[in-house]
Amino acid sequence: MCQTLDLDVSKSDSQEAVKSAISRRKMLGGAAVAGASLPVFGGLLRGSDGDRARAAEHSGHDGFAHASFAAGRSVNHRANGFHPTELLRDFDYGKTRRLASGRLLREWEIVAQDKEIEVAPGVKYEAWTYNGRVPGPTLRAREGDKLRVRFVNGSNHPHTMHFHGIHTAQMDGMPGIGGGQIEPGREFTYEFDATPFGLHLYHCHVAPLATHIARGLYGAFIIDPKKGRPEADEMVMVMNGFDTNFDLSNEVYAVNTVGFHYVNEPIRVRRDELLRIYLVNILEFDPINSFHVHANFFQHYPTGTSLEPSELTDTIVQGQGQRSILEMKFPFDGDYMFHAHVSEFAELGWTGFFRVGDPRFASTAAAAAYCKLPWGGGGAA
Ligand SMILES: [Cu+2]
């Protein structure tokens, strides 16, 4: 079977034990010195039939090898309180009512909470969250709406909500301006207009900023153009990572938090249907991230602020805070990989599959084949 690196920190509820988890960078260096075959951080489990059956039981589909950092185990989404497959198409439009002026008011309540989450099988992380999930809810409005966000800090640390968009300094969620940083137990209401249309984000802006972002305080913020966009199957992908041992580098990379989740549970899409991906990069500690899709090309709308695409491509690069809308159609049934074209990230969890069309035509061997790549154990079964 493929080698797997057991990052088992499940016995360690305390942060101290989590800190003792092996640094992947040290590990990479150590492996090189030892002249060993490539280390297998993203090794996919291709174990016994029993293993596969258990894996299938966990992930709700069968015949698919189970990607993980720890053999035979999967993330407990119920304990996390959120599920990456559901997060994809979960848009929060808020509570709405029409104002006397005729404008639409959208209101949300967002609560900051400290919460342990599992970001890869057995890898727990002391996250700071908006509404108990990482990423926070995808807030969605229409250009010109009036927005009101009541932020309640139920965390043990001061936080804010800093929105990307155009608004006053008082509503910018910065310490020292307007409501300033919101202390534990306090609250503040942000009010601003939905402008400009596009794909934006929000995140905490309290210092040390890298910590407050890396802990999980971020989410996507979509402002639809007044006339909308063409009908499509829409989904949100927030590219993130986790520094599980607090050494200022990430050990786990993902889309929507759980490493390899979309390998274990490929994203179901329909053939020939327009797919629209709202892609946000919030990754801390690494200067760039990227998105690449196999066997297809997509139209790229940088920041989503134009209705005309800038490029037809199959790979884009984003720095932290950058975002893009991607549109594509899959003309053929089957399983198609998407991943960071930063290979190290792909091997540490930032890899997934689209499952197009009739699942009977899906390549159930796709993940197993992935396992045969050199870093997946050299193909030894
Ligand atoms: Cu914060």
**Residue 202: which H helix or E strand, with range?**
strand 198-203
Backbone angles phi, psi at 157, to 5 degrees: -130, 155
Q: Which long-range contacts (CB under 8 A, 24 or more apart) does 372-380 make?
A: 374/37, 374/38, 375/38, 375/39, 375/40, 375/41, 375/42, 375/43, 375/347, 376/2, 376/40, 376/42, 376/43, 376/44, 377/1, 377/2, 377/3, 377/40, 377/43, 377/46, 378/37, 380/1, 380/2
What residues contact 176, with CB distance under 8 A and at least 6 apart?
Answer: none
> Are β-strands 218-224 and 138-142 bridged in parallel, bridged antiparallel, or unpaired?
parallel
The encoded tokens of residue 332 equal: 């053929």
Strand partners, 311: 300
What residues contact 138, with CB distance under 8 A and at least 6 apart?
Answer: 87, 90, 91, 92, 219, 220, 221, 222, 236, 278
What residues contact 230, with CB distance under 8 A and at least 6 apart?
Answer: 274
Q: What is the pLDDT of residue 264?
A: 86
Report the share of the chain in percent with pLDDT over 90. 70
Q: For residue 277, how far is its CA from the centre of ligand 1 (angstroms)?
A: 27
As a whole number of angstroms, the distance between CA 34 and CA 347 comes to 20
Q: For residue 179, how far is its CA from the centre of ligand 1 (angstroms)?
A: 14
pLDDT, tens only, 98-155: 999 999 999 999 999 999 999 998 899 999 999 999 999 999 999 999 999 999 999 9
Q: What is the pLDDT of residue 68?
A: 58
Q: What is the pLDDT of residue 361?
A: 64
Q: For residue 148, how far is its CA from the centre of ligand 1 (angstroms)?
A: 20
Q: For residue 262, how far is its CA from the centre of ligand 1 (angstroms)?
A: 28
Count Cβ neighbours within 10 Å for each residue of 124-163 and write b for 16 or more, e otherwise: bbbbbbbbbbbbbbbbbbbbebbbbbebbbebebbbbbbb
Backbone angles phi, psi at 114, to 5 degrees: -80, 135
Q: For residue 203, how far is its CA from the centre of ligand 1 (angstroms)?
A: 8
Q: For residue 3, how far is its CA from the centre of ligand 1 (angstroms)?
A: 38
As a whole number of angstroms, the distance between CA 31 and CA 28 comes to 5
- Residue 80 CA to its chain's centroid (Å): 14
Which residues of the chain fall below pLDDT 50? 1-66, 371-381
pLDDT, tens only, 244-289: 999 999 999 999 999 989 988 999 999 999 999 999 999 999 999 9
Q: What is the pLDDT of residue 369?
A: 58
Q: What is the pLDDT of residue 273?
A: 97
Strand partners, 37: none
Q: For residue 154, how far is its CA from the centre of ligand 1 (angstroms)?
A: 11
What's the Cα-to-Cα distance from 290 to each of 143, 186, 345, rounded to whole Å?
A: 28, 37, 9
